[in-house]
Structure 1
């Protein structure tokens, strides 16, 4: 995916200001910044959920899927897990039950969970369901927006390991959004840093973390002591 001069305005407020960013095919690119930096707004624009000015190319319209921060609010509580996943599956209707089972197992959940409802699952399990639902649409780009932030610390690592495994197994192209550079370092190849709606630094993740050029990036690193010393 290539984003060129993307701008998002809400009235007189500019949330994203002429940002250009490339997410190479088969790679995971991190987008980091504190709350209010514009990273989630950029993601929603890339997914076609927010009007924008600029150009987005390299992905087919409708083939971008987004996994949100809060899996409970993104799942219909009256819809079974199986129905939620099957809703966007790109297979004939008769094949959907088998496809749902395959996708559940892909995210390390039993196929029998298809009959359960969101309220019956833990936060980590619901997020796995949200990932499976996004994968059902066979996306050209998967956007993960702070997908571990609403989870207990004890399950965050398991979800991040799942992302790494899926990337390796499926060759996913992903835009991974986080405020935590330690998380980005673990799952991403490259990273872009946003501050006040602008892109202030980008490059291979180890280069940006190892030798940050921008003061704001150094501030983010200081918030993760072990990374700052690495």
Structure 2
């Protein structure tokens, strides 16, 4: 999938400014930048949630799924886990139960959680449910917008490992968004650095982390203790 010359304006304010970015099949592209850099606005534009100019080419817009930062707000509290996961399935009703169980197993959740409500789950479990629901649509592109930042540090690593295993098992293409360059480095093949609505540096992860060309990228690296050492 290729994002071409994508621009998002809110009145006179330009939130995303002429961004071009390729997300190769089966790869994870990490989009990193400080709060307010335009990362989430770009994600919402690619998902069709905000209007934009430019183009998103090479995929079916209906098969772009987004997992949001806070699972407690992205899941309907009145729906059971099973109902939430089944909501987007294009299957006969009789086939939905087994598919929900399969999707929950993909994110390492037991089938019995299908009858529970989001309030009965931990933050990490809720985020896994949100990922399972997105996978149910069989996405060509999964957009993960700060999916670990609302979680306790103790469960962040487990969710990141889940992201890596899903890519390895299914060849899933993903745009992984975070303000934390260490997190992006752990899961991504390519890193794109965003600042004030523009991409300022893009390249293979170890090149960007090991020999950044832009001062802004170096400042993000310096904000992460011991990144790249050992």
TM range (shorter): over 0.9
Q: Distance in 2 between matches of 1:130 and 1:141?
A: 15
Deviation at 1:80, TM superposition (A): 0.5
Q: Distance in 2 between matches of 1:109 and 1:228?
A: 33
Deviation at 1:93, TM superposition (A): 2.0
In the TM superposition, 1:1-230 aligns within 5 A as 1-227=1-227, 229=229
Secondary structure of the residue that 1:34 maps to in structure 2?
coil
Q: Distance in 2 between matches of 1:87 and 1:119?
A: 18
Q: How many residues align?
A: 230
Q: Is the 8 A contact 1:80 1:117 kept in 2?
A: yes
Question: CA RMSD for the aligned pairs?
Answer: 0.8
Q: After TM superposition, which residue ranges in structure 1, 4 or more long, deviate above 3 angstroms? A: none
Deviation at 1:228, TM superposition (A): 5.2
* TM-score of the two chains, using structure 1 as the length reference: 0.98
Secondary structure of the residue that 1:160 maps to in structure 2?
helix
Secondary structure of the residue that 2:62 maps to in structure 1?
coil
Unaligned segments of structure 2, at least 5 residues: none
Secondary structure of the residue that 2:227 maps to in structure 1?
helix
Q: Distance in 1 between matches of 2:125 and 2:6?
A: 34
Q: Distance in 1 between matches of 2:90 and 2:135?
A: 10
Q: Distance in 2 between matches of 1:229 and 1:33?
A: 21
Q: Distance in 1 between matches of 2:228 and 2:128?
A: 31
Secondary structure of the residue that 2:89 maps to in structure 1?
coil
Secondary structure of the residue that 1:62 maps to in structure 2?
helix
Q: Distance in 2 between matches of 1:59 and 1:30?
A: 19
Deviation at 1:212, TM superposition (A): 0.2
Deviation per CA, 1:27-85: give whole Å up to 9, x if none. 00000000000011000000000100001111102110000000010000000100000
Q: Distance in 2 between matches of 1:108 and 1:229?
A: 32
* TM-score of the two chains, using structure 2 as the length reference: 0.98
Which stretch shifts more, 219-228 or 18-27? 219-228
Deviation at 1:91, TM superposition (A): 2.5
Deviation at 1:96, TM superposition (A): 0.4
Unaligned segments of structure 1, at least 5 residues: none
